[in-house]
């Protein structure tokens, strides 16, 4: 993992992703961006659906972009709302990010930079399925 994450640049990428959000129902755009182990920045935005349960969070589209651009592991993550304010991923999205994290992944949160293990302690993951 890089010694220093450029949180300002990562959050700027999340804000740019947020501009692409499709939110005709809630009018609550969200953007997310992450740095990969190989230095790429991947991003995503929320995409709503009239059937609310089918709405995709920004983290979902970010992980899709990660896979579509070569895969890898996430080392740093930032998420913002329509005003550009930092957001904490919901529990579902924390689990999604956990699956694709690098060891010691960091997240910019409303209370500062935290590790994935701090925001999702005692998580269930792929290692629990190994036989």
Q: Which of 72, 79, 76 is nearest to 105 (CA)?
A: 76
Distance of alpha carbon 110 from alpha carbon 67, whole angstroms: 27
59 is catalytic: yes
Half-sphere exposure of 127 (CA within 13 A, CB side): 7
Of 8, 19, 59, 127, the active-site residue reads: 59
Which tokens hold the place of 72? 């890898």
Q: How many CB atoms lie within 10 A of CB 60?
A: 18
Length of the chain: 131
- Strand, helix or coil for residue 51: coil
Show the DSSP H helices in 1-131 as ranges.
7-18, 58-68, 91-99, 116-119
Give the catalytic positions in this structure. Answer: 59
């Amino acid at each position: 993992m890089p010694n220093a994450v450029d949180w300002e640049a990562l959050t700027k990428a999340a804000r740019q992703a947020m501009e692409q959000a499709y939110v005709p129902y809630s009018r609550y755009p969200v953007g997310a961006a992450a740095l990969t182990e190989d230095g790429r920045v991947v991003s995503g935005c929320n995409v709503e659906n009239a059937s609310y349960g089918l709405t995709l969070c920004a983290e979902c589209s970010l992980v899709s972009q990660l896979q579509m651009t070569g895969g890898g592991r996430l080392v740093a993550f930032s998420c913002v709302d329509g005003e550009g304010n930092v957001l904490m991923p919901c529990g579902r999205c924390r689990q999604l990010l956990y699956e694709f994290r690098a060891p010691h992944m960091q997240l910019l949160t409303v209370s500062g930079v935290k590790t994935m293990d701090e925001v999702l302690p005692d998580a269930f993951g792929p290692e629990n399925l190994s036989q």
